[in-house]
Amino acid sequence: MWLWNKIKQLAISFRAGKVTLGYPFEPRPAPEGFRGQPVWDHTRCIGCAGCANHCPARTIFLRDICQEVRILLYDSSRCTYCGRCADLCPEKAITMSQNFELATDNRQDITQTIELFMMTCQRCGRCYDLEIKNYLDKLSSLGYRYDCLEVRKVIHRATADFSPDMLEKTSSYQRPDSLEK
């Protein structure tokens, strides 16, 4: 019985033969519909921020450097290739490419940046004021984005509610010497 099983197992292994692919020496193209690195078409993008607002990984950043110029920066390193940005872009400016070989030691290789010229709205001109306690929040309510392109962090709103005193109070906290019973 034991031997018979081993023979069967041998047969299965031999029949399967070598299944390991020659990749990376032989290329292995991704199938159609594959969700690889998203690619931006700067001629189509209108800078609506739809992609940035819906990216679950928060890896698309926008910075309004003045009323007229908006910078869009996409950083692949945190992208999950979900394809939501491509789905939601009203101008179909984003395509999910077949490209998946993205390992690099330089973040800039996998970064895409677009500078967009924005018009100022003649009606609101992004200039009315609201009673919001915080300047960052105020800017955001006017449609401005001020994500940090240097450290690549989305800044949605201020976290002014947390009192640092709370942390201060516990700064002398010591790890317990033994587990309390």
Partner 1 sequence: MSRAEELSRRLREELGNLVLDLETGTPGRLFIDVSKEALGKVAASLKNQGARYQAAVAYDARKTGQGFGLIHTFAFDRDSLLVAVRTFAPEDDPEFESITPLIPGAGWSEREYIDLLGLKFKNHPEPRRLVLSDDWPEGIHPLRRDVPHDLMPPAAEEVAFRLEKAPAGTSIIPFGPFHASLHEPAHFSVYVDGEDIKGCEYRGFMTHRGIEKLAQTELTYNEVPFVAERICGICGSVHSVNYAQAVEAAAGLKIPRRAEFIRTVMLEIERLHSHLLWLGVAGHLIGFDTVFMQSWRIREKIMWLAEKITGNRKTYGMVIIGGVRRDIERQRASEIRVVLTEVEKEMLALEKAILKDKAIHKRTKGVGHLSKEAAVSWNLVGPVARARGLAIDVRKDHPYAAYDEVDFEVVTADSCDVWGTLVVRVKEVYEAIRIINQCLDKLGRLPEHEPLSLVLEGPVPSGRQGLSVVEAPRGEAVHYVLTGDDNRPERWRVRAPTYAHLQAVPDMLLNNKLADFPIIVGQIDPCISCTDRVLVIKLGQGRAELLQKQELERISRSRRKER
Residues 70-129 close enough to bind ligand SF4 by CB under 6 A: 72, 79-85, 89, 91, 93-94
Given ligand SF4, partner 1, none, residue 59, with its beta carbon under 5 to 8 Å by kind, binds ligand SF4
What is the maximum alpha-carbon separation in the chain?
Answer: 86
String marking each residue 30-49 x if it binds partner 1 according to CB under 8 A:
xxxxxx--------------
Considering only residues 160 to 179 of the shown chain, the ones binding partner 1 according to CB under 8 A are 161-163, 166-167, 169-171, 173-176, 178-179
User: How many Cα atoms occupy the beta-carbon half-sphere of 68 within 13 Å?
Assistant: 1
CB nearer to partner 1: pick between 148 and 167: 167
Residue type, 134: N
Hey, what are 54's tokens? 């819906």
User: Which of positions 54-93 make contact with partner 1 (CB under 8 A)?
Assistant: 54-58, 80-84, 87
Report the distance separating Cα 70 and Cα 51, nearest Å.
14
Listed in order, strand segments (DSSP E) in 52-181 are 60-64, 69-75, 94-96, 111-117
Query: CA end-to-end span of the chain, whole Å?
Result: 55
CA distances (Å), origin 2, targets 5, 6, 8, 9, 14: 5, 6, 10, 11, 18
Nearer to ligand SF4, 98 or 132 (CB): 98
Size of the site for ligand SF4 (CB under 6 A): 26
Query: Footprint of partner 1 on this chain (CB under 8 A)?
Result: 1-2, 5-6, 8-9, 11-13, 16, 19, 30-35, 54-58, 80-84, 87, 96, 156, 159, 161-163, 166-167, 169-171, 173-176, 178-180
